[in-house]
Structure 1
Amino acid sequence: MVDYFIDLARTIGVLTDPYISPLENVLKTTLNSTFPQVYQNLEEILENNKSPFVDKLPLMNLFHVLIITIGYLSTIYIGKMIMSNRDKVSVKWLSIMHNLNLVVLSAYMCVTVLSEAWRRGYSLFANADDRSEEGFQKNNHQISFLHVYHHFSIFIIWWWVTYVAPTGEAYFSAALNSAVHVVMYGYYLSTVLSVPIRFLKKYITLFQMTQFSLNMIQASWDLFYFKIYNPTSNSYPFSSTILLWFYMWTMLGLFADFFRKDRKREKEQSIKKKGQ
């Protein structure tokens, strides 16, 4: 099944290459002419940190990732401008299919990642990057700063993790995030179907914050284990671990702020209803 997704992504890459390559050349030329030293350093970093599995995976070109990210941000900006003076459009059936697909896909990802981790004999934390062939198996209220920041940043971060070390400790974040998404998109699906599981609403953000806390615990343990307790062992790349640690702080801060504002908004709405 995983082979199918990889092959599908490769096929999409081939079909879009005539449109992406000219943009990639412009981006490379602009960066190289404007910041030649930065461009050279970037090339060296990518070459020195490349996982042996990079050539077997789609979308491992950083410039393609940057183009997609720019496209995502542009779509959000232009879309908000276009819809700012228009009436709301009913997208109920699109929302149903979107959320249903994400529930199924997230559940599939969670189960397959955990089963592969079990097969490889991974412990909870401190799993080294496995670079052998065995280690890689081909088996407008809503459009907030938090929403945009999280989606464009996590895309780039997971690209880096996959580029550098898609094995070892990467399993924990992937499985945990997929489990959270099963709950989150399951709730969204129930809401669109007009049978909302109301008690879940206030716990979803707490569930996400628990995820970030567990990821921070994982990163902290790995920093201790691989850098202090057992520095001579085969380790998971430091760059990915420290990136995870810092990123989780931003996620905790932003989601905590969202949780506080959301509870305040619900309280104000409740008071308003009682006053009517």
Structure 2
Amino acid sequence: MTSFSQSILKGYRILLADEYADPRTKDWFLVSSPVPLFVILASYLYFCTQIGPRYMESRKPYELKNLLIVYNAAQVILSAYMVWEGCAVWSTYNWYCEPLDYSQNPVTLRMNNICWVYYMAKITELLDTVFFVLRKKDNQITVLHLFHHTLMPTVTFFGLRYVPTGHGTLFGLINSFVHVIMYSYYLVAGLGPEYQKYLWWKKHLTGLQLVQFVIIFLHNIIPLFTDCGYKKFLHAPILIFSSTFIYMFGNFYVQSYLKKTKTENSNGKNKLH
């Protein structure tokens, strides 16, 4: 076995080792091992990029109107619940730097439960792309979309298994707040063409998604310069994750709105001449 293979095997054993996992969450559903999650994500990507498009190639798009209304409404309610619970816990937290807490403190246990619900939400959100495939909305299935939906449950798994408390959990609270607004948008959009006039804020939704990652990035820089009981190395993946999405969402925003507006204005001026 090569040294590279040995390193991979060692890393995998660390992921499975209970000694590194939080004893309060390590045996929870879809948390005891990364294998089920990786199987779900691999199946998701294979369906959305291979099986699904081939299946739909010679078929008309499914409407799924009633299903989407129920799905989007459920996501709004679920996200709102996590915002409510998250705000209740963070009202007792130190916003500047909240340490890790492995005790049986009721507030901490409450945060553990919120983290698990958030993890389940990230898995159910994979259905976003499945619905795009079945409705033949191929233009919505971008690299950014697939990357975002694959990475979010992965990051959440590791957070829930190893550090389901403390400073890093603000990420989930902010993201849940954004999703209340995002799925409200999808809910209204799915009601029919007559509701399109109420969707003027689509551009601002993309901007809000970008702002959330800026806030998360800045919030996770703070503990790097202070010692409050939250391990500094834990911020590295969050900083990499958030900075990656700042770039990707920022580029999407520029390409979809700023350059598009500039082109439309330029075309308008040409018509006047």
Once residues 204 and 80 of structure 2 are traced to their aligned partners in structure 1, the CA distance between those partners, rounded to angstroms, is 19
Amino acid at match of 1:44: I
Report the TM-score when normalising by structure 2. Answer: 0.77
Once residues 267 and 103 of structure 1 are traced to their aligned partners in structure 2, the CA distance between those partners, rounded to angstroms, is 34
Name which of 182, 185, 190 aligns with 1:184.
182
- Alpha-carbon deviations, 1:98-136, whole Å to 9, x = none? 111111111111111111232xx2021311111001122
Once residues 81 and 260 of structure 1 are traced to their aligned partners in structure 2, the CA distance between those partners, rounded to angstroms, is 32
Once residues 26 and 249 of structure 2 are traced to their aligned partners in structure 1, the CA distance between those partners, rounded to angstroms, is 36
Partner of 2:22: 51
Query: SS of the residue aligned with 2:29?
Result: coil
Amino acid at match of 1:75: F
Name which of 50, 62, 81 aligns with 1:108.
81
Structure 1 residue 56: deviation in Å?
A: 4.8
Amino acid at match of 2:47: T
Partner of 2:229: 234
Structure 1 unaligned blocks of 5 or more: 1-30
Identity %, equivalent residues? 24
Once residues 207 and 162 of structure 1 are traced to their aligned partners in structure 2, the CA distance between those partners, rounded to angstroms, is 25
1:22-33 equivalences in 2 (<5 Å)? none
Query: SS of the residue aligned with 1:179?
Result: helix
1:261-276 equivalences in 2 (<5 Å)? 261-263=255-257, 264-265=259-260
Q: How large is the Cα RMSD of the aligned pairs? A: 2.6
Once residues 209 and 74 of structure 2 are traced to their aligned partners in structure 1, the CA distance between those partners, rounded to angstroms, is 20
1:136-151 equivalences in 2 (<5 Å)? 136-137=109-110, 138=113, 140-151=138-149
Amino acid at match of 2:252: F
Amino acid at match of 1:201: K
CA contact (8 A) 1:129 1:167 kept: yes
CA contact (8 A) 1:161 1:240 kept: no
Once residues 188 and 220 of structure 1 are traced to their aligned partners in structure 2, the CA distance between those partners, rounded to angstroms, is 33
Partner of 1:254: 248
Query: Does residue 1:200 correspond to 2:201, yes or no?
Result: yes
Once residues 255 and 68 of structure 2 are traced to their aligned partners in structure 1, the CA distance between those partners, rounded to angstroms, is 25
Once residues 245 and 222 of structure 1 are traced to their aligned partners in structure 2, the CA distance between those partners, rounded to angstroms, is 12
1:53-202 equivalences in 2 (<5 Å)? 53-60=24-31, 61-77=33-49, 78-118=51-91, 121-134=92-105, 135-137=108-110, 138=113, 140-194=138-192, 195-196=195-196, 197-202=198-203
Moved more, 131-140 or 146-155: 131-140
C-alpha distance 85-224 of structure 1, shift in aligned 2 (>3 A): farther
Amino acid at match of 1:162: L
Structure 2 unaligned blocks of 5 or more: 115-137
Query: SS of the residue aligned with 2:140?
Result: coil
Once residues 89 and 269 of structure 1 are traced to their aligned partners in structure 2, the CA distance between those partners, rounded to angstroms, is 33
